Amino acid sequence: MAEALSIADPRSSARCTACHSPLASVAAAERGPRVEASEGVSCVSCHDLPTQWIRSHTRSDWTHSDRVAAGMRDLRDLYGRANACVACHQNLEPALVAVGRHPALMFELDGQTRDEPRHWEERPGYQGAQAWFVGQGVALREMSWSLLNHGADPARSLPELRALGWVLSRSGLGPLGPPPDAADASPAGLSATMQRADQLARRAAQAWEPGFGAAAMARLASTQGDFTDPATPVLDRACRAERLVMALDRLLPSESDAGRRQAASACLDRLFRLVQSRGDFSPTQFARELEGFRTAMGP
Ligand code: HEC
Ligand code: HEC
Ligand code: HEC
């Protein structure tokens, strides 16, 4: 990658270390004695620099609030957690993907939280659907920010932005606030999308209700028509499909009936296979499988 991008040493270029070795650009005095610049992604990337917390974080008589008071970033709050992860998991400089063949990044909080080595007890009442929704709101905010201020490639990013806006609005969670209208790519439109997406994520972290996950899944499973509508470019439909299968995957546990869950899960495997390559995406085939998923979930 470095060769393709004419980067002399990726271990010291901020174009790579920003995410892969974030301490490389933090002065030794600021890092403190126990933190090495070469650590890569480590405790402090997610939990903040160790002021006091490092010494006491294993104390069994300490509560979460004690640790936060000692300087650990509050990652229990899903909005704060999403902000901590998205910094490295969504926005990439376009050349890294186009020239360096870096894998494109797609942030999804619930799945990535589950895939991370678990070294904590999740707070009671953690709901995957909520983490998913908060994370998608924050991802949309970052995508619009990146298009506005950070030179994201519009040809690639705009269809992805519209697709994410589509998923959030088709989830139909009106009580959390108006969904962002990601269709307007003017600076004023992007700015509005950014603000609305952020508000939606904040509200979802605070005011989520247990029925929201199942409701969002039912609505999203009934969107076949949005894939067969010829007025929408095929690339947009492919990007919608990518976000949609990820959403259904996170929302499926919201279905309480094990038989339905199992039948729908088999359909979901087929849906995943249909979104492996944007170039080969077949909207009609996808719409047909999606109808199968909806039917498997019952009336
Ligand atoms: C915006 C943050 C960010 C920047 C900047 C970044 N990366 Fe990454 N990189 C990631 C993340 C996150 C992953 C993990 C992606 C995944 O597994 O889904 C990753 C994965 C990789 C992988 C593993 C790929 C694979 O297929 O397993 C390599 C190699 C890599 N990056 C190299 C680089 C190099 C070299 C640079 C600089 C030219 C760079 N990265 C810049 C965030 C970044
Ligand atoms: C990729 C991000 C990430 C990294 C790296 C990471 N953690 Fe965590 N950590 C989390 C998340 C997310 C939680 C769950 C938040 C919660 O429930 O408090 C957590 C929770 C914790 C908690 C419990 C906090 C509390 O009071 O609830 C401790 C202690 C902790 N981590 C220590 C560490 C240490 C020590 C390291 C390095 C060896 C580390 N973590 C690396 C993300 C990370
Ligand atoms: C400082 C940047 C940074 C932060 C902050 C960060 N990550 Fe990562 N993460 C990375 C990089 C870079 C990789 C790729 C590592 C590699 O393959 O060498 C990665 C890989 C991962 C992976 C494995 C690959 C994948 O995408 O499935 C998971 C899971 C993950 N991170 C979850 C999280 C979560 C959850 C948080 C927030 C609590 C978080 N990360 C915060 C930089 C970061």
Pick the residue whose CA is nearest to atom 3 on ligand 3. Answer: 88
Instruction: For the beta carbon of residue 10, count every other beta carbon within 10 angstroms.
Output: 16
Mind listing the pLDDT tens digit for each residue in 125-179? Answer: 899 999 999 999 999 999 999 999 877 788 889 999 999 999 999 999 989 998 8
Instruction: For the beta carbon of residue 279, count every other beta carbon within 10 angstroms.
Output: 7
Distance 282 CA to ligand 3 centre (A): 31
The pLDDT value recorded for residue 33 is: 76
The parts of the chain modelled with pLDDT lower than 70 are none
Protein residues whose CB sits closer than 6 Å to any atom of ligand 3: 19-20, 22, 41, 45-46, 75, 81, 84-85, 87-89, 112-113, 115-116
Protein residues whose CB sits closer than 6 Å to any atom of ligand 2: 41-43, 45-47, 57, 64, 67, 75-76, 81, 116, 119-120, 123
Ligand 2, atom nearest to 81 Cα:
12
What is the rounded CA–CA span in Å between residue 29 and residue 49? 12
The pLDDT value recorded for residue 49 is: 80
What residue type is 68 in one-letter code?
A: V
What is the rounded CA–CA span in Å between residue 158 and residue 144? 9
Distance 25 CA to ligand 1 centre (A): 17
The pLDDT value recorded for residue 204 is: 97
Instruction: For the beta carbon of residue 190, count every other beta carbon within 10 angstroms.
Output: 21
The pLDDT value recorded for residue 6 is: 96
The pLDDT value recorded for residue 56 is: 81
